[in-house]
C-alpha cells in the first residue's frame, strides 16, 4: 500500500475540512430562509411596492408627456447626443420610435440599477454583516451547516428579486404595455439583480467587514454602469465593450422593439458561476474572517484621526468620494443636453407641465431644473453619513469612543460637521459639473461660475435633510431610518410633482421644492432662511436627545 502525500501551496488559504460528526453543509437552510424572510418582512415588500409605484407612475407620466408620434420622434432625436445614450441605453428603432421603445430607454436603467443595489445590500446584510456582528456565530452553534447561511441569504435575495420582477410586470401590463415584452422586462430586472447579489456574495467572502463588502458590490454596480455607457457611446446599439456589463445583457433583449430572449442566458450563467465561487470560497475561510486579511496599519494613528471628526472622516471618505464622482459625471452628462431641447419643446409642449421651463431663456431654465433634479444627491449623502453614527452605536463602537474621553456633544458635533462638509463639497461639485456640461454644449465658460454659485442655494435644503436625521438619531433612534422619508419625498416632488399634480401644501413639504430654481429665477431668501432655522433647531434637538438617552437604545 502506498501513501500519497501532498503539500499545499504556502500562499493558498487552507481548505477547512468538516470534523467527524459535523452536520451536513446545507443543514438548517430552510430554517434560516424562514428567519431571514421574517427579518425582511417589511423591507422586501417596501422594495417591491417602490418598484410598482416607480414603474406605474413613470409610464403614466411618459404617456402624458409624449402623446403623439411627433413628440416621440423629437425624443428620439435626443439619442443623437452621446450623453443621452450614456444615461439611458442603446438606441433601437429611432426611425420609427414607438412608445414602448422609449419606455425601455427611459426606464430600464432606473429599474435594473436599483434592483442591483437592493440585491447587494440584502446579500451583505445576511452574510458578512451577520458575521461581523457575531450573530452568525450564535446561529452556527445550532445544527446549521457551513454553507447554510450563505445559501439562505441568496435564496432570500432571489425571493426579493422575484417580488421586484412581479411588481415590474404588474405595473407594465397594468398600464397597457405589451404583455410579452413586459414579462421580459421584469425577468431581465430580476436576473440583473441576481448577478449583483452573486457579486456581493463573493465580496462577502473576501473581506471581513460589511462596509467593505457593500462598497465592493456597489462599486461593481457603478463599474457595470460605466462600462455599459461607454460601450453604447462607441456604438449606439451596443459595442463589444457593452457586453462586459450585466446591464447591457438586459438591455440587449431589445424590449418592445425586436424582443430576443437569448441575452438573458448570460445573467443566468453569471449568477450560477458567482454562487459556485462564493460557496467554494466560503469553505476556505474561518467564520468571521475574510480571505483577504486586513492590513494591521501603522502602530500609531495620525493626530487628525484621534477625534470623533477624524474617525468620521476615515469611515465615510471613500463612500463620499465615490458618490461625488458619480454625481459629477451625471451632472456633466445632463448639462451637455442643454442645447438639445430647442426643437424638442415645440414638439412636446406638455413637457412644460412636467418641469418649470422658461421658453424665453431655455438654456438657463433647463440648467436650473437639472440642478434641482440632481440636487437630491447631496441630501441623500448627508442623511447616509449621519445614519452611519447610528450604525456605530448599534455595533457598540460609539460607547468605546465615549470611554476615550469625548463627550456625546463632541462626538455628534464632530461627526455631523464632517459629513456635512462632505455633502456640501458634493453639492458644489454638482453645480460645477452641470456648469461644465452646459459650457461644453454652448461654448460659454461663464456657465461654470454661474451654476457653481447657483448650487449654493441648495445648502439650506441639504442641511435640513441632515438635521432631520440628527433629530431622529438623538430623540428616536429606533426610528432613525425614517430620515430617508424627506429625501424620498423631495425626489418624488422634484422629479414627478408636476405630472402628479400634487397639492401645493404637499409639494411644499419637500425642502428641495422650496428652493428657488436659480439661476432661472431670482433668489428668494425667505424660504432659505426658514429652512436654515429649522435645520438649527432640529440639530439642537438631536444633541439634547443624544445627551439624555441611554446608549445603545
pLDDT tens-digit profile of 69-122? 888 888 888 787 777 788 788 888 888 889 999 899 888 988 999 999 999 999
* Under-50 pLDDT residues of the chain: 1-14
Name the burial class of residue 246, with classes exposed (0-12), middle (13-18) and buried (19+) by CB atoms within 10 angstroms of its CB. buried
**Amino acid 352: pLDDT:** 65
d(CA 215, CA 121): 10
Q: Is the omega angle on the peptide bond into residue 519 within 30 degrees of 0, that is, cis?
A: yes
d(CA 250, CA 464): 38
Domain ranges of the chain: 25-286, 304-552
**Amino acid 168: pLDDT:** 95
**Amino acid 6: pLDDT:** 43
**Which cell numbers in the block locate residue 489?**
419625498
Helix%, strand%, coil% for the chain, nearest 5: 75, 0, 25
Return the HEC string of 262-301.
HHHHHHHHHHHHHHHHHHHHHCCCCCCCCCCCCCCCCCCC
**Amino acid 152: pLDDT:** 92
Q: What is the pTM of this model?
A: 0.79
Buried b (16+ CB within 10 A) or exposed e, 351-383: beebbebbeeebbbbbbbbbbbbbbbbbbbbbb
**Amino acid 3: pLDDT:** 41
Amino acid at each position: 500500500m502506498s501513501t500519497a502525500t501532498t503539500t499545499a501551496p504556502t500562499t493558498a488559504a487552507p481548505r477547512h475540512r468538516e470534523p467527524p460528526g459535523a452536520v451536513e453543509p446545507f443543514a438548517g437552510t430552510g430554517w434560516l430562509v424562514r428567519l431571514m424572510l421574517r427579518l425582511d418582512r417589511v423591507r422586501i415588500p417596501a422594495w417591491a411596492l417602490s418598484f410598482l409605484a416607480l414603474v406605474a407612475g413613470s409610464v403614466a407620466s411618459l404617456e402624458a408627456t409624449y402623446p403623439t408620434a411627433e413628440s416621440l420622434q423629437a425624443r428620439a432625436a435626443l439619442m443623437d447626443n452621446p450623453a443621452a445614450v450614456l444615461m439611458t441605453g442603446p438606441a433601437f428603432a429611432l426611425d420609427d420610435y414607438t412608445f414602448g421603445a422609449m419606455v425601455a430607454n427611459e426606464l430600464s436603467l432606473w429599474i435594473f440599477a436599483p434592483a442591483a443595489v437592493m440585491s447587494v445590500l440584502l446579500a451583505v446584510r445576511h452574510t458578512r454583516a451577520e458575521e461581523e456582528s457575531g450573530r452568525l456565530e450564535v446561529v452556527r452553534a445550532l445544527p446549521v451547516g457551513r454553507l447554510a447561511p450563505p445559501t439562505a441569504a441568496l435564496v432570500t435575495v432571489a425571493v426579493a428579486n422575484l417580488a421586484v420582477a412581479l411588481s415590474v410586470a404588474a405595473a407594465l401590463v397594468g398600464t397597457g404595455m405589451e404583455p410579452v415584452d413586459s414579462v421580459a422586462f421584469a425577468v431581465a430586472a430580476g436576473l440583473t439583480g441576481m448577478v449583483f447579489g452573486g457579486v456581493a456574495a463573493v465580496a462577502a467572502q473576501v473581506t471581513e467587514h460589511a462596509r467593505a463588502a457593500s462598497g465592493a458590490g456597489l462599486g461593481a454596480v457603478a463599474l457595470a454602469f460605466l462600462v455599459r455607457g461607454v460601450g453604447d457611446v462607441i456604438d449606439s446599439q451596443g459595442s463589444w465593450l457593452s457586453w462586459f456589463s450585466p446591464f447591457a445583457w438586459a438591455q440587449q433583449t431589445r424590449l418592445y422593439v425586436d424582443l430576443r430572449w437569448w441575452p438573458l442566458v448570460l445573467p443566468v450563467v453569471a449568477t450560477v458561476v458567482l454562487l459556485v465561487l462564493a460557496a467554494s470560497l466560503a469553505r476556505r475561510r474561518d467564520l468571521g474572517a475574510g480571505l483577504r486579511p486586513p492590513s494591521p496599519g501603522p502602530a500609531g494613528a495620525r493626530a487628525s484621526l484621534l477625534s470623533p471628526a477624524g474617525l468620521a472622516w476615515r469611515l465615510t471618505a471613500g463612500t463620499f468620494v465615490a458618490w461625488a464622482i458619480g454625481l459629477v459625471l451625471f451632472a456633466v452628462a445632463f448639462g451637455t443636453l442643454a442645447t438639445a431641447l430647442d426643437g424638442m419643446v415645440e414638439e412636446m409642449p406638455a413637457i412644460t407641465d412636467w418641469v418649470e421651463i422658461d421658453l424665453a431663456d431655455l438654456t438657463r431654465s433647463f440648467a436650473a431644473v437639472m440642478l434641482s433634479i440632481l440636487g437630491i444627491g447631496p441630501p441623500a449623502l448627508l442623511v447616509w453619513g449621519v445614519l452611519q453614527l447610528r450604525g456605530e452605536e448599534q455595533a457598540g463602537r460609539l460607547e468605546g469612543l465615549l470611554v476615550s474621553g469625548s463627550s456625546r456633544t463632541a462626538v455628534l458635533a464632530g461627526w455631523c460637521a464632517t459629513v456635512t462638509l462632505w455633502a456640501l463639497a458634493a453639492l458644489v461639485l454638482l453645480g460645477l459639473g452641470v456648469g461644465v456640461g452646459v459650457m461644453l454644449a454652448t461654448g460659454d465658460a461663464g456657465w461654470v461660475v454661474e451654476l457653481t454659485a447657483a448650487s449654493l442655494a441648495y445648502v439650506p435644503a441639504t442641511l435640513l435633510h441632515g438635521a432631520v436625521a440628527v433629530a431622529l438619531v438623538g430623540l428616536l433612534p429606533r426610528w432613525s431610518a425614517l430620515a430617508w422619508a424627506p429625501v424620498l419625498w423631495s425626489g418624488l416632488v422634484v422629479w414627478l410633482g408636476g405630472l402628479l399634480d400634487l397639492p401645493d401644501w404637499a409639494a411644499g413639504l419637500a425642502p428641495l421644492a422650496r428652493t428657488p430654481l436659480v439661476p432661472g429665477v431670482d433668489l428668494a431668501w425667505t424660504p432659505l432662511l426658514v429652512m436654515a432655522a429649522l435645520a438649527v433647531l432640529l440639530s439642537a434637538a438631536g444633541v439634547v436627545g443624544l445627551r439624555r438617552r441611554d446608549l445603545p437604545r
